[in-house]
Amino acid sequence: MTSVVVVDDQELVRSGLQMVLEARGCSVVGTAGDGRAGIELVRRTDPDVVLMDIRMPALDGIAATRALTEAQVRSRVLVLTTYDLDHYVYEALRAGAAGFLLKATPPDRLVDGVRTVAAGEALLAPSLTRRLIEEHVRRPAPVAGVPTALRDLTERELEVLALVARGLSNDGIAERLVVSQATVKTHLNRILAKLALTSRVQAVVLAYECGLVVPGGAGVPDPAGGAFSGT
């Protein structure tokens, strides 16, 4: 059973989310009304997922997410908010959030999102994904070759990062590259370590920001200016 902590400054929202989650097989191990209290609750209860609001007193959700990431807790943060401004999306992902959903998300989809994040995958609301892709489409095309920030990665690690950025799960990457899931996890851990990142989502953001992958692109640039297959 997936265990969840709900952090939101509105009691009615906390109660509603608890009812939705528990009615669909999740266990809400606690709720908190601000980021600071949320951090302490997560440390005490060690949940699988933290449903985190953004705008809260004492400590906002982005700062609380960053603190949990820096503390290297096991729990994964799923930001749930009324606001879909790009600034909040980027800040939440950079802080280490594993996903971002809007409070208007239907209950069943919300619970699916919680379970997806608990399973180690990244998650973005479809409307936010479209907007982020549209923004990258408007940017100038990247130059040929591997971006400087990614030069320490091997060719296989670049392949894996590109597939992650395309939204493939570990299973999908393993199938595409004809390797085991354990091998994929090893590559991902090395990628995160080399890039000084803490989550899969941060790796996706960096891949797009560096131009390693572009929306609709078909390949991954290599040092010679060609492209790896399978992306």
Q: Which residue has the higher pLDDT, 189 or 220?
A: 189
What mean pLDDT is predicted for residues 158-185? 88
The domain spans of the chain are: 3-133, 141-228
Class of the CATH-defined domain 141-228: mainly alpha
For the cut 70, the answer to whether the pLDDT of residue 95 exceeds it is yes
pLDDT in the model for residue 119: 86
Q: Please tell me the total number of residues recorded for the chain in this structure.
A: 231
Considering the domain 3-133 in this protein, what is its CATH number?
Answer: 3.40.50.2300
What mean pLDDT is predicted for residues 200-227? 60
Output the pTM of the full model. Answer: 0.64
Q: Which residue has the higher pLDDT, 227 or 209?
A: 209
What mean pLDDT is predicted for residues 160-172? 85
33: CB partners within 8 A, 6+ apart: 7, 8, 9, 11, 14, 56, 57
